[in-house]
Structure 1
Amino acid sequence: MSRPLSFDQVTNNLEQILADPSTPLDVHLLDKLGAEVVAQTDHGLPKKLIALISRVLPVLQEDPSPVATLATKVAQYLSFSELQSIDPRIDFVAGIRAGSPAINTLVLCLVVKASESPNHVAEVARNADLVGSIVELWLSTDDSGVSQAAFDVLWSLLEADHLVSNNANGGPKNESLQNGPMWQRIFADKTIYRLLFSICSLRTVGQDGQISARQKTVAQGRLMEFVVKVGSVNWNVISSSHFADVESTFQSESLLSFAALQMVDTSDLLLHMTLLQFFRQLLEINAPGLHYSPSKAPSSIPTFSSPSLEFLITNSLHRKVINYYLDPSTLDPATANFLAAPVMAYVSAYAALYPNHLLQEHQEQLDRLCSRILEGFKIPSAQWAHGPVPVGDLDILASLPRVMLVESGKRGLNPLLAIPSKPLHTETLMCLGKIFHGPTPSEDAMDIDQAISKGPNPTSPRAEAAASRILYFQYLNSHPGFWSNIVEAAEIIAMQETAIASINLIKRVVTANWTVLSSAEDARTLTSGRFTLPTEAIISQLGPASQGNLPVSGAWALLVPPALTVVLPYLFKQPPSYANFVAGGAGDTESAVWRIATAKYDALVALQSAVQKMESSTGSLDDIKRTLKRRVAEGPMGAPNQIGSRIEALEL
C-alpha cells in the first residue's frame, strides 16, 4: 500500500487549525493530496484523514469547500462500516444541519454509502434525527445541488429498502413496503411525515422555524417529484392515509391529495405550470397503453383506466385540464399562453397512454377534440414553413388513436388531412411519421386485451396498425404531391434539420407496422362498432386505379407510384459532394452533408432489409434488390472512386 507524499503535510496543516482555528488552510496541499490518493493508498490513511477532517470542519473559519472536496475524494475508498468505525464517530446530523453546502454535500456523500447494504439502510432508518434532517435539507435548502443530492440519498435508501424487503418477504409489494425500515421511518414516523406537509404548506408561513413563502414554492416542486417517484413504486403509499390528524390539519386525506389539491396556490403561474406537469406525470403511473390485463389492476379500477387517472377524474382535475384545452377561454388571458404547453402535454399524454379510455368518451367530446386541433392548424402557409407552428396540437394529433382519426374523417373532422405537405416543418414531419409508422410491433401477435375481453375493444395494436395504413392512403389521396415535396425538402442541405426530418419520415414509412384487414368480418371484430375500420374494397378506392392492389406494407408503398418515381431515385442517388458548394463555411457544410448522408444511408439500409424479406412471383424486385445491395455497399458517402474528389474539394 502506498502513502501519498503530501499526506503528512496536510495532516500537520489540519492539526494546526485544530490547535489554532485562525491558521490558514493550505489549499494547494489539499489539491495535491487529492490528486495523489488512489485505490492503492494505505487503507488506514483515508480513515485517519476523514476522522481529522470531521473534527476540523466545525472550527474552520474559512471556506470549507477545499476540505470537503478532499474528504469526498478520500471517502470513495471507504465503506459505510469503515466510516461508522471512525473514532470519534462522525456526527452526520450536525453535518446535514451545517449551513454550508460544501459540508452538506460531503455528509450526504457519506450517508448514501449505506444504501449498499440492507443492514446499513436499517441503521440509518433507526436514526430518526438523521432521516428527519435529510428531509428538511432536501425540501428547505436554497442550494439546488444540495437539494438534489439529499433527494438522491433518500431515494437510494428507499429503493434499496424496497428491493430488499420484496426479496425477503416474497409477498405483495404493498406489504413489503410497509415492512421496510426506511419506508416505515418516512411514512410511519409522525414527526417526519408531518415535515412533508408543514414545510411545503403555505398555511405555515410565518410560524417558528418555517421557511419563507418563496422557499416553500420551491419545496412544493420538490415534493411533487417525490410523490411521483414513490407512486410509481407503490400507489397506495401516496394515496392512503398514514396519520389522519396530520393530513386533516392540511385539509387533505393523503400525501397525494395534499400535493394535488391543497398545496399549490395556482395564482402563482410557475407553480400552476409545475402542477399541470405533475398531473401529467401521475398519468404515466400504471398506464395501460393499448393493452389491458385485469389481473394487473385492482378490481375497483374501471377497464382501460388506472389508479392515478381515477384519482384525477374523481377530484375533477382530469376534466378541468381537458377543458382548458378544449375551451381556452376558461383560462386567464394573462396566463393562457404560458399554461398552454403543459395543458397540451397533459392531453397528449392522456391520449397516448389511455387510448381506449379516451375512445369511451361521447362522440361530441371526441369531435370537440378534433375540431380544436383543426382550429390550431388554421395558420398562414408561411407560418407552416418558418414557424411558430402549433407544436402542442401536432403532439396531441400524433398521440390520438388512429382509429379515432379514421372515424372522424367520415364527418370531415380528421385533423391529419389539414397538415400541409408543403411547406414542410420538422414538427409536421415528425407528426406524420409517427402516425404513418403505426404502433410499436408487439412480440405477441395476439392482442392481450382482445383475448381476455368479451368483445372487441375500441382499439388495439392490430387495429392501430390497420388504421395507420388507411390514414397513409387517405393523406396521400388528399396530398398527391406528398412524396415529391418530401424529396424536395430532403435535398435542401441549407435546411438540414428539415432535410433530416424528411429522410426520417421515409424511414418511418419503410419500417411501418401495418396490418391488412382480410374481410368485413375481420374489420367488425377488430374494434367496437363506432370505430369499425373500412374494408379493403373501400380502402382501394383511395389509390390510383393503375396501382391495382394497394401496398400491404410501408416498404411496398415506396415501390409503387407515386413514391416509386421520386423516393427510390432519391435514395439511390449519390449524396452531394463538398464540391457542390461555393467556398466559405466549409465546416458547417461538411457537417450538414455528413448528417444528411448518414440519415439517408440509414433509410437505405432499412429499405434493403425490408425488401429482402419480400417475394415477387414476377421477379420485378430483382433489379431493385441489386441496386439496393450495391448502394448500401458503397456506404453513406457513395462510391469509393468519388470520395477522392470530395476530399480534394475541401482542400481547394
Structure 2
Amino acid sequence: MDTTPISGLDELEKHVDDLVQDPSIPLNAKLFDDVELQLTESNTPAVIVRFLPKLTAILKQYTEDPTVLASLAIKLLRPVSFIQVLSLASEESLVQALDSPAPAANLLAMTVIHKAAASSADVAIFSTMTSVVVSFIRRWLAAPQVEVGQKGGIVLGDLLDVDCELPMPPVPGRTATHTELVLRKSPGQGKLWRRLFTDRAIYTLLVALCAGRHADTSANAHQLSLAQGRVLRILPRLAALNLRTVSQSGIIATTAVNVTNGHGESDRSIPKPKQGEGLLQFAALRMVDKSDALMHLSLVDFFEAFVSLMRVTEYSAHKVEVARALLCEAIEDDLVLKEALLSLPERIVPEEADDLRRWLQEVMPGEAIRVPLR
C-alpha cells in the first residue's frame, strides 16, 4: 500500500464536513482537484472510508453544479462493488441523480449502475430496481449531452452482455471482433433482457422515446435524432448477443412512429410497426425519417455495422432469415443504403473482404456484390 501522505487531505476533509452541515457554502474546487490528482490505485482505499459516505450525503442535498463532487466520487468508486455502493446510495438517490439536469450527476449514477456488470447476480438486482431502470432509459436517450448518451450506451450494452442467457459463442475463425464484444464468462440470468423487452411499460417507453411520442423527445427534433442515433449504435451489439430477443416482440408499438423527427407531420407511406416485430425492425425500418440527411447516414452506418457483426456470430438459419428479410425491405427503396452495402467489402481490411462478400451474397441474394480490387 502507498504510504505517501496525500497533501491537503485533512483540509479537504474539514471542508467536506462543513459542506455536510451546510451544502450552500461556497465549494473550494481547488482542494478537491489537488487531492484527486494525488489518488492512486494503492492509496484510494484508505480515502474511500473517509470521504465517500460524506460525498454521498452532500450530493443528496446539493443544488449547484455537482461536477467537482461527482468527479471525486467517481474516482473513489473504482474499487467499490455494486452491492457496497447500494449501501451508500439508495434507489431514490440514483433516480435523483439520473433525473438531474447536471450531466455530472447523470454520469455518476451511470458509473454506479455500470458496476452491476461485474456479475450476472448484480445485473439481476439492478433489473428489480424498476424506478432506476426507467430513469436510466430516459436519461440515456433524452440527455442532450453527448457524453451522457455515450456512457449510457456502454453501460446498457455491458449489462445486457453479462445478463445474456445464451451459451458462450464459439470463437470465430480469423477475427476477434465478436469475442471482443463478449464480456461474460458464463451464461447470465436474462432478467434485464426480460425487463427491457417483455415489460410492456419499459419497452413502450423505449419505443416512444425513439418515435418522438414521449415528452422528452417530441418537442425537439435534435433530441429525437440523438435518441434514435443512440439506439442505432447499440443495436448491432445487442443483435450479436441475442438476435431472437431483439428481432421478435409480443408488444407492438402503440402509436405510429413520428417519421418527421419532431416536426409534427405524418407520412402514411411509411409502414407502421407490424405484429411480432422487435426493436431491431422498428429501429431499422420504421423509425428514421430518411429525408433527414444526417439520420439517414446514421441508418447506413447501422446497417454496415449490423451486417459486419452478424457475419462473425454463430451461423444459424434464423440469423440468415432475419438478416435477409431486414435487408430486403431496407434496400427496396433506398439506393444509397444498397450501394453502401454492396461496396462494403471494398472498404474493409483485405483479409476479411472475401468472407464479407460471401456473407452479403447470402443475405442479399441476387445483388451484385462488389469484388474487392487486389
TM-score range relative to shorter protein: 0.7 to 0.9
Shift of 1:194: 1.0
By how many angstroms is 1:223 displaced?
0.9
Q: Once the 2 structures are TM-superposed, how far is the Cα of residue 57 of structure 1 from its aligned partner?
A: 2.1
Provide the C-alpha distance between the structure 1 equivalents of 2:79 and 2:58, rounded to a whole number of angstroms: 21
**2:217–2:224: 8 Å Cα contact kept in structure 1?**
no
CA–CA separation in structure 1 for the residues paired with 2:279 and 2:91: 35
Tell whether the 8 Å contact from 2:120 to 2:188 is kept in structure 1 after alignment: no
2:358 pairs with 1:355: yes
Match of 2:265 in 1: none
Q: Which structure would you say has the larger RCO, counting Cα contacts within 8 Å and 6 or more residues apart?
A: 2
Q: Which has the larger radius of gyration?
A: 1
Q: 1:474-509 CA distances to partner (integer Å, 9 max, x unpaired)?
A: xxxxxxxxxxxxxxxxxxxxxxxxxxxxxxxxxxxx
Distance 1:178 1:41 in 2: 34
Does residue 1:195 correspond to 2:205, yes or no? yes
Q: Which residue of 2 aligns with 1:77?
A: 79
Segments of structure 2 that go 5 or more residues without pairing to the other structure are 169-185, 258-271, 347-352
- TM alignment of 1:485-524, pairs within 5 A: none
Number of residue pairs aligned between Structure 1 and Structure 2: 329
1:309 pairs with 318, 324, 328, which one? 324
C-alpha distance in structure 1 between counterparts of 2:72 and 2:359, whole Å = 56
Contact 1:47–1:86 (8 Å) recurs in 2 = no
Unmatched segments (≥5 aa) in structure 1: 168-175, 290-294, 325-338, 370-395, 399-430, 436-652
* Alpha-carbon spacing, 1:356–1:138, altered in 2? closer, same or farther (3 Å): closer
Contact 1:228 1:282 in 2 (8 A): yes
Asked whether the equivalents of residues 91 and 129 of structure 2 are also in contact (C-alpha less than 8 Å), the reply is no
Summarize deviations over 1:399-445 as a string: whole Å, max 9, x none.
xxxxxxxxxxxxxxxxxxxxxxxxxxxxxxxx4xxx2xxxxxxxxxx
Instruction: Tell me how far apart the structure 2 counterparts of residues 178 and 42 of structure 1 sit (CA, whole Å).
Output: 31
Q: By how many angstroms is 1:48 displaced?
A: 3.8
The aligned amino acid for 1:347 is L
Q: Does 1:241 align with 2:260?
A: no
Deviation at residue 135 of structure 1 after TM alignment: 1.2
Q: Percent identity?
A: 26
Paired amino acid for 1:355: R
Q: How far, CA to CA, are the matches of 1:208 and 1:356 in structure 2?
A: 39
Give the superposition deviation at 1:211.
5.2
Distance 2:140 2:91 in 1: 24
Change (3 A) 1:350 1:308: farther
Equivalent residues of 1:225, 1:278 under 8 A apart: yes
Post-superposition shift, 1:87? 7.5
Cα distance in 1 for residues equivalent to 2:358 and 2:26: 66
- The alpha-carbon deviation at position 267 of structure 1 amounts to 1.4
Correspondence 1:577-616 to 2 at 5 A:
none
Show CA shifts across 1:549-572 (max 9, x none): xxxxxxxxxxxxxxxxxxxxxxxx
1:286 matched to 2:310? The reply is yes
Structure 2 contact 36–72 (Cα < 8 Å) conserved: yes
Match of 1:142 in 2: 144
Please state if 1:346 is matched with 2:341.
yes
For 1:112 and 1:260, the matched residues in 2 are separated by 27
Equivalent position to 2:221, from 208, 213, 216: 213
Pick one of 214, 222, 231 that aligns with 1:223.
231
Sort the Cα spacing of 1:161 and 1:47 in 2 relative to 1 into closer, same or farther, 3 A: farther
User: Contact 1:277 / 1:346 at 8 angstroms: preserved in 2?
Assistant: no
Q: Is 1:80–1:110's contact at 8 Å kept on the other side of the alignment?
A: yes
Which residue number in structure 1 is paired with residue 316 of structure 2? 297
* TM-score normalized by the length of structure 1: 0.46
One-letter code of the match for 1:312?
L
- Measure how far apart 1:31 and its partner are: 1.6
What amino acid maps onto 2:326 in structure 1?
F
